[in-house]
Structure formats: C-alpha cells, structure tokens
Structure 1
Amino acid sequence: MISDRKLEHLILCASCDVEYRKKTGFEDIEIVHRAIPEINKEKIDISLDFLGRELSSPVMISAITGGHPASMKINRELARAAEKLGIALGLGSQRAGVEHPELEGTYTIAREEAPSAMLIGNIGSSHIEYAERAVEMIDADALAVHLNPLQESIQPGGDVDSSGALESISAIVESVDVPVMVKETGAGICSEDAIELESCGVSAIDVAGAGGTSWAAVETYRADDRYLGELFWDWGIPTAASTVEVVESVSIPVIASGGIRSGIDAAKAISLGAEMVGIALPVLEAAGHGHREVIKVIEGFNEALRTAMYLAGAETLDDLKKSPVIITGHTGEWLNQRGFETKKYARRS
C-alpha cells in the first residue's frame, strides 16, 4: 500500500545513511571574497518575489512527506515554521491523499497551520487526473510535478514507463490555474531536459541534483536484492553542475536543491543563477522536535547566507548573482566538457 511505503521512506530517511557518497559539486565553487565589501551587513535583503509570491528568504522547505498518519505531525511542524518565517513549503506526493481521502488530513494540515504561506503541491508526471484535486486539497499556490526515473528503476515494482511524460506535463500545465514547476528527486536535470520542460509551459524548474538524499539508496534498503541499488546509489548530475546546466538553458526561475547543507551552499547556488534553494533532510530531524527547531535550522541558513553575501559585497540576491565566482575541479571539467563557458562567471563584476 502507498501509505505503508511512505512510512518506510520516512523512517529510512530519518534513521539510515541514504545520502550520496559523491559530492554536490559546491566544493568546487568559490565566491570571490571582497576585503572591502562597501555595504552594511545589517541592510542586506534576502527577500524575493517567486512565482508571484513575496517570500522573506530564498530558502524553501522541499517536499518531504504526506500520505501516512505519521507524517501529519511533520507537516504540521514544517507548516508552522513556514508560516512564521514567511517562506515556501513543498509537500510530498499527493497521490495517496487523492486515492485515499482518509489520508487527506496529512496534507491539509499544512494549509490549516500556514494560512498565508506559499504551499507547493506535488504529483507525478503521469497523474494528469490528480492535478486539480491536488491543488484544491491544500489551496496550493503552485504545483510541483516530480520526476523520479532512478527511484522507480530501483523500487520493487516501480513504474519504468516514461513514454509521453512531456505530453503529460503539458496537459497538467493546461489543467490547473496555478504555476506548475517540475522537480527531479535527487538525480538532477540536464540542459536538454530543461529546454524541453520550458517548452511544455512550466513556470520553474527544481534541479534536485545528486549529492543529497539518494532515492536509489532509500530503495536499496527496501529491496530483497540490493545489487542494483548499490550499483546506482551515486547515479546522477551533481547539484552544482545541474544548476548551471539549467540556468544557462532556460529563462524561467531555477531552484537548486539536492545536498544544500548550509547557507554557504545556498549562496553558491544563487551565485550560479538559482532563484531559490530547497532543503529537506536538514529539517526532517528538526521537525520531529517541533517547529521551533525547524525555525532554528532555517534561521541558521539565512544568517550564513547573509554573511556570505556581505563577504561578497552583495546587498541583494540579484547582486549575489552578479558576484564573480570561480568554478574548479570536477564541476568545472563537467561544465566545460558539456560546452558551458565557466570563465565568464569569474569575470563578472
């Protein structure tokens, strides 16, 4: 049953080593330090407009859970934190709530606790018929369509037929009256796919790159035969490289997620052109201790982001996107081989 699988996923993410063994690529990114920032750190502004909503910070809580009674507490605490902080909150796949109305409460709790926060719904790319109901269920401000071919490939009995996915995404865009964003679930999005997604009419792309939670790893723990999961544990495009691939290829907003573990990572992602950054695992454990702990985690991210901006001489997020950045190592090699000019990032002023 879907609900039981949701609980298994939640337990595994909270208690097992499910992260990529390879890095996000942000270790290859350096923002050029300014010894004379010529700005007042106290006046740094990290607020932004995202898909028509005013947000206090570019740090959003990415989709984590829903669809099992145990997830209600987590979504309640995450929603309380989002409401208090004025940030965006993404919910887990709503398929379980649509197919089993008795589980709707595990999602609707978010809107009950966060009446004014930006809530992002979530469905799979093949679930066109669920789109309207998913939006209505939580009075969503946007709808995320998740892509998870790697997870489905490892998951026992997973759906490995992606035929017509782009057509389905276009139909979802047409079927709802809120912005639709597309997100991977931990293996990243390449330039070619980003271009196709923009042509489908989506309003934003969340790269959800490799380096954070590996859903191949999660499914490895659930499988009787762990060979395939172990083999593909680290499959995917590292988050930093995926961020540049997508930013360079589309004109719609890009969210960087997948292994964002500090405000410095967030600053690096935004300096590469991302509008927002998403975090999940860092707040999952905190949510178990209540919304105040979630707030503490995100405030820590925000403070580190402001500090990095100060040291880069960036008073706004737009300024940070113009700051010179050095791209080295595996990330630089990846991008250069893929035809992206990395030196232009270093020459910005």
Structure 2
Amino acid sequence: MNEIVHRKNRHVDAVLSGTVNAHDVTTGFERIRFEHCALPELHLDDIDLTTRFLGFELSAPLLISSMTGGPARAQEINAILAEAAEILGIALAVGSQRVALETGDSHGLDRRLRQHAPSIPIYANIGAAQLNKGYGIEELQRAVELIDANALILHLNPLQEALQKNGDRDWTGLRAKIGHACNGLDVPVIVKEVGFGLSAAVARQLADLGVAAIDVAGAGGTSWSAVEGELSDDPKTRRLAETYRDWGIPTAEAITSARRTCPDTPVIGSGGVRSGLDAAKAIRLGADLVGQAGAVLRCSTQSVEEVITHFDTVIEGLRLACFATGSTDLEALKRAPINAA
C-alpha cells in the first residue's frame, strides 16, 4: 500500500511538472467557433448560469474533477477544493478512495470533507477494475459513506493500468459488475474515463447498464500514458508510454458522440478544458456539466482563494460566451450557432 501512496504522490508531481500533456492530439475545441452576435439584446449581469445536475442546483455548470495524491497531500488538497466548491456553488469529485478503504485510514477522505462543503454535491470515486479484485456493493457503499457522497464515480483507465507497474490487467466481465453497482447502490453511479475518452459505443453500453451520468474525459489534456512513462524506470515501458502519449478520442468528439448516442443521459465534458470558452464549447456540443482537474491542480496546492480566483475567471469566460452569442442561459447557449473547422 505504501507503493500506491508513493505512486499517487508522484502522479501529482508529474502533472504539476507540465511535461505530461498530450503533444499531437488536441481537445478539438480549437476547431469550434461560435457565431458572434453583435446585437445580443440582453444585460451581461442577467445571464443565468445555474443548472441542475443529478438533483442538485449549481451556480455554474462546473465540476472539480477527481485529483489524486498521497495521503497527507490529498487531505490538504481536498479540504481546499471542498471549501472552494462550497463557496462557488459547484460540484466536487474526490480522487480514488482505494487507499482509504484498504488501510482503514481515511487521510481526510471522511466526513470532515462534508464539514467543508455541507451543501454542494460530492462524488466518491473508485477504479472500476477493483470490481475484479474483490470489491462489491459493500465496498462501494463504504466509499460513499466515508465522505457522505451524493454519487459514486467508477473510473475507467485500462491503458494507464496496462502501462503501470503491477497495474490492473484483468478487465473481463466489468460491464455486468458496473450494472450490478448501478442497481445495488442507493446513490447514482457516474462512469468516467481518465483522459482517453469514451467512444459512442461504450457510452451507449454504459447508458444501457443504467449509469446516471457519463464523463467522457477525452484526450487533449493530461496524458496518463505520459504520466506512467514519467514514473517508470523501465526503458521499454517509457518507450511504449511515449508511443501512446497522444492516444485517445479528442474531448470535443467524445462529447458530441456521447450526446448523439445517449440523448437522455447526462454528460460531463472533461479532458483538457482550460478556459470558460472551452467550457462554453463543451456545453454547446452537448455537455451538461464541465469538469476540470489538471488546470486547477496547481492552485489547489496553494489556497482556497487561488482556487476561487481560478474558477471566477472560468465562470466569467463562460458568461462572456453567452453574452457574445446572445444566449440568456445555458439552454440558449446549447442552441447558439457554431462553425466547425
């Protein structure tokens, strides 16, 4: 377990280094251009960014996506993020709770987190591959109860695990187990990738299993192939990781295909979202909520104020996109004219 803690600490260091982003694949947002409205006929301050997601009203359609770290680091980061999310009125997802579940030491991933964020939705998080290693409804429910979560995220990361030393190699039979989790838990189940994207076919399979929402987590931001290559001492693994640095489905494409294939399933757009304009494009393409992780990691290691400042800029960027397209609210933004290069 100490090895896992050490690896998660190194994950944070790798992302903070700025050297593990995708190189040749982009999110695809740069190819989407809104048609400018020179006569918006609305007041900037009256634009409504509120939204409802899985039963909660949020002040903006934003999710602080799952981040990871060793115990001491994770405790500090999650406390900062929870307090900021509460002030901002947005959703928060924690990193993997495997260490907390298997060691009995929550390292801050317990109900203390809820004290920092009493009113916003918090999402628990476990790797789906753990369902093939003895995890069942009892373990998943414990992850939820540890932090008084409102939903559970099951994350999919087969390529990352394949490149990871002692990573999870057995991904057989997981569809049925995910379906069992959806039926057996008393909170909604969200399924997400970690940065390689969900295809239309997988999104449809997940929707048919009964997942409450899908986070496409597309390519174009942090490359978890590159992260594992950075951590590896094995030359072969490092070469393979670099080969697969740009693997995945660009975020814009993943959002579009998920919305088209699963018209009735809530979609979270994440993966390389860097600005409020990116968030606006994600919403226009079909996302109901927009997630950020890597873009907010550095300020999450500093202070609550830095996180709030970051998201204030994102929110104002999203508001400007609404204003410049003549969109009074998010539903109008979803119909705003766009051009795709």
Aligned partner of 2:328 in structure 1 is 315
Check conservation: 1:72, 1:107, Cα contact below 8 A: no
Partner Cα distance (2:14, 2:247) in 1: 19
Does 2:150 correspond to 1:141?
Answer: yes
Check conservation: 1:39, 1:315, Cα contact below 8 A: yes
| Runs (4+) off by over 3 Å | 106-109
Partner Cα distance (2:76, 2:66) in 1: 15
Check conservation: 1:26, 1:265, Cα contact below 8 A: yes
**Partner amino acid for 1:223?**
S
**What runs of 5+ residues in structure 1 fail to find an aligned partner?**
329-349
What's the secondary structure of 1:301's corresponding residue? Answer: helix
Shift of 1:34: 0.9
Partner Cα distance (2:299, 2:18) in 1: 16
Q: How does 1:270-289 map to 2 (within 5 A)?
A: 270-289=283-302
Aligned partner of 1:74 in structure 2 is 77
**Partner amino acid for 1:96?**
V
Aligned partner of 1:41 in structure 2 is 44
Residue of 245, 251, 275 corresponding to 1:239? 251
Check conservation: 1:67, 1:103, Cα contact below 8 A: no
Q: TM-score, normalised by structure 2?
A: 0.94
Task: Tell me which moved more, 169-178 or 207-216.
Answer: 169-178
Partner Cα distance (1:33, 1:90) in 2: 34
Partner Cα distance (2:113, 2:38) in 1: 44
Partner Cα distance (2:246, 2:174) in 1: 24
- CA deviation profile, 1:211-234 (whole Å, cap 9, x unmatched): 111111110011122111010011
Q: How does 1:210-221 map to 2 (within 5 A)?
A: 210-221=219-230
Partner Cα distance (2:144, 2:191) in 1: 15
Residue of 10, 13, 20 corresponding to 1:11? 13
**What runs of 5+ residues in structure 2 fail to find an aligned partner?**
none
Check conservation: 1:75, 1:107, Cα contact below 8 A: no
Shift of 1:110: 2.4
Partner Cα distance (2:254, 2:322) in 1: 22
**CA 1:16–1:282 in structure 2 vs 1: closer, same or farther (change >3 Å)?**
closer
Partner Cα distance (1:154, 1:256) in 2: 25
Shift of 1:65: 2.1
What's the secondary structure of 1:70's corresponding residue? Answer: helix
Residue of 169, 192, 202 corresponding to 1:193? 202
- Percent identity of the aligned residues? 46
Q: How does 1:1-349 map to 2 (within 5 A)?
A: 1-21=3-23, 22-65=25-68, 68-126=71-129, 127=131, 128-129=135-136, 130-224=139-233, 225=235, 226-250=238-262, 251-328=264-341
Q: TM-score, normalised by structure 1?
A: 0.91
- CA deviation profile, 1:104-130 (whole Å, cap 9, x unmatched): 424544222112121011011133422
Task: Tell me which moved more, 83-92 or 282-291.
Answer: 282-291
- CA deviation profile, 1:200-248 (whole Å, cap 9, x unmatched): 1001000000011111111001112211101001100000001101010
What's the secondary structure of 1:76's corresponding residue? Answer: helix
Partner Cα distance (1:177, 1:216) in 2: 34
Shift of 1:16: 4.2
Alignment length, in residue pairs?
328
Supply the RMSD in Å over aligned alpha carbons: 1.2
